[in-house]
Amino acid sequence: MRFRDTLRLALQALSAHKLRTALTLLGLVVGVTSLILVMTLIQGANGYVKTKIANLGVDIFQVSKMPLATSNFNEVLKAKKFRELTLDDSRSIVERCAACLAVGVQARTTGEIRGPQRSLVDVTLRGETANMGWISTLNIPSGRFFTESEQAAAAPVTVIGAEVADKIFPQGNPLGKTMRIAGEEFTVIGVAERIGAVLGQDQDTFVIFPFSVYEKLFGARSGLIFQIKAAPPLETAEGQVRLVLRATISISPPPILTWSSGATSAPFFSSSFSSFPRSPPSSAASSS
C-alpha cells in the first residue's frame, strides 16, 4: 500500500469519527500545555528560591549537610543520617581547591534579641566568617560588615536586618547603638538592605555577627554551611570540592550538596540534595 493510500484511509477514519478525533486532539493539546506550564513553574521556582532564599550569586555554590529547600521529604530524612560538616572540612577546601576563590562558613539558630525598649523573639541568629561580606550578595547600604580583625578578636559587633532595625530602633539610626543577643551586648555596625517576604516568610528579621562569637555562644558542632565563591565554570570548583571531601572521608565519590544560581547546579524541585554519609557505604555512592 502506497503512502498516498495510507494517508487517504487515515483521513477517512478521522472524518468518520469526528468526536473521537476532536477529543484526542484536545487531550494532546492539554497534555503538552500542562507539561510546558509545569516546567515553566519549576524553573521559576528554582530561580525564585536561589535569588530570594539562598541569596547566592552566579559564581557561588553552597555545601551543607541538610537541604536548603526541597519538595521531597524523604531526602530530608536521608540527609539526617549524614555526618556534619566541620571547620576542618572548610580548611581542607581552602588549601586544596585551586578553583575556589573564597570559602565562607555560616551557622545559624534562632533566639531572642533585646533593644533599649523592646525585645524580639524567633530572630535568626547567624554566625559568619568575615569573608562572607565579600562572598554573600547581601547589600549593606548603611554601615559595614565586620572585618577579619574583628572576627579574630571575637568582637561583639553585629549587622542587623531591616525589620530588626525598624522594631528595635524605631526612632533613630541604629549604627553605634547596642543591643543584646543571647544575653550578650553587641554594637550595631551595619543595617542590611530590606529583602522582603519570601513564600510568606519574613527575610529581614536576622542578625549577623562573627563566627568566632557564635562558637563561644552556641558552639559549632552542627549545622555548618559553606558558601564557596569560585571562578567560572562552577563545575571545576564543584568537582575539586568533591575530591577534597572524598579524601577527607575516604569514600568515592562523596555525594555532597551543591547549589548556586548558575544553570549547572542542583535545582530546587527536581534534584535531591545530600551531604555525605556518617559511615562509608559498602558500595560506591553516586554523586548527586
Q: Which pLDDT belongs to residue 220?
A: 74
pLDDT at 16 over 50: yes
- Rounded to an integer, the average pLDDT of 104-113 is 94
Whether the Cβ atoms of residue 79 and residue 275 lie closer than 8 Å to each other = yes
- Rounded to an integer, the average pLDDT of 105-117 is 92
Maximal C-alpha separation, the chain: 91
pLDDT at 287 over 50: no
Judge if pTM exceeds 0.85.
no
pLDDT at 40 over 70: yes
C-alpha to C-alpha distances, 194 to 21, 79, 123, nearest whole angstrom: 55, 32, 15
Q: Which pLDDT belongs to residue 50?
A: 55
Q: Determine the Cα–Cα distance for residues 236 and 44; give it in Å rounded to an integer.
A: 26
- Tens of pLDDT, residue by residue over 55-95, are 566 788 888 877 666 566 777 777 677 778 889 889 999 99
- Tens of pLDDT, residue by residue over 212-241, are 999 999 987 778 899 999 988 888 988 898
DSSP 158-202: EEE-HHHHHHHSTTS--TT-EEEETTEEEEEEEEPPP--EETTEE
Phi and psi based region of residue 81 (left: phi greater than 0; alpha: psi -120 to 50; beta: remaining): alpha
150 or 219, which is more confident?
A: 150
Q: Which three cell numbers stand for residue 54?
A: 539562598
Give the number of other CB atoms < 10 A from CB of residue 242. 21
